[in-house]
């Protein structure tokens, strides 16, 4: 029986490196092959899940740091403006365009209640 793959590797149009960037489903936390989370990262995901009940929540470790996002279309979406980064203010992740970084947009949405002031 084959071992299920863990994480999804996305390579965006703007990515200079051939390997792409891997993101993981929140449901994969603690599975073999998933990077361990710090206590703070795990607590943040727990706070987000109190408000967002979605089976498409994902996390990734980017050049700019740890991000949590909801990927309702698919994990490597290139649909603008991208998926809202839930643990940042005015940050979107569009891995099908650039899997290594996030970007901002004009008129940002209000941060969720899980964000500490």
* Per-residue pLDDT reduced to its tens digit, 13-63: 766 666 678 899 999 999 999 999 999 999 999 999 999 999 999 999 998
User: What's the pLDDT at 42?
Assistant: 96
- Give domain limits for the chain: 9-93
Average pLDDT over residues 71-97: 89
Alpha-carbon distance 9 to 21, whole Å? 5
- For 99-110, how does the pLDDT look when each residue is reduced to its tens digit (9 = 90+)? 888 988 887 777
User: What's the pLDDT at 4?
Assistant: 54
Rg (CA), the chain: 14
**Cβ neighbours around 53 below 10 Å, total:** 7
Task: Confirm if 97 and 13 have CB atoms less than 8 A apart.
Answer: yes
Output the CA torsion 102→5→48→13 (10° steps).
10
User: What's the pLDDT at 52?
Assistant: 93
Average pLDDT over residues 90-116: 84
- Is the pLDDT reported for residue 98 higher than 70? yes
DSSP 53-85: --TTEEEEEETTEEEEEE-SS-TT---TT-EEB
Q: What's the order of all strands across the beta sheet hosting 57-62?
A: 8-10, 21-25, 57-62, 65-70
């Amino acid at each position: 029986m084959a071992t299920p793959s863990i994480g999804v590797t996305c390579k965006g149009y703007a990515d200079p490196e051939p390997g792409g960037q891997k993101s993981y489903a929140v449901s994969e936390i603690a599975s073999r092959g998933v990077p361990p989370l710090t206590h703070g990262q795990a607590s943040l995901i727990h706070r987000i899940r109190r408000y967002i009940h979605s089976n498409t929540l994902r996390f990734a470790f980017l050049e700019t740091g740890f991000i949590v996002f909801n990927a309702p279309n698919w994990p490597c979406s290139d649909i603008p403006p991208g998926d809202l980064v839930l643990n940042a203010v005015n940050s979107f992740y569009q891995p099908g365009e650039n899997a290594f970084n996030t970007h901002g947009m004009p008129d940002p949405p209000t941060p969720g209640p899980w964000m500490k002031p």
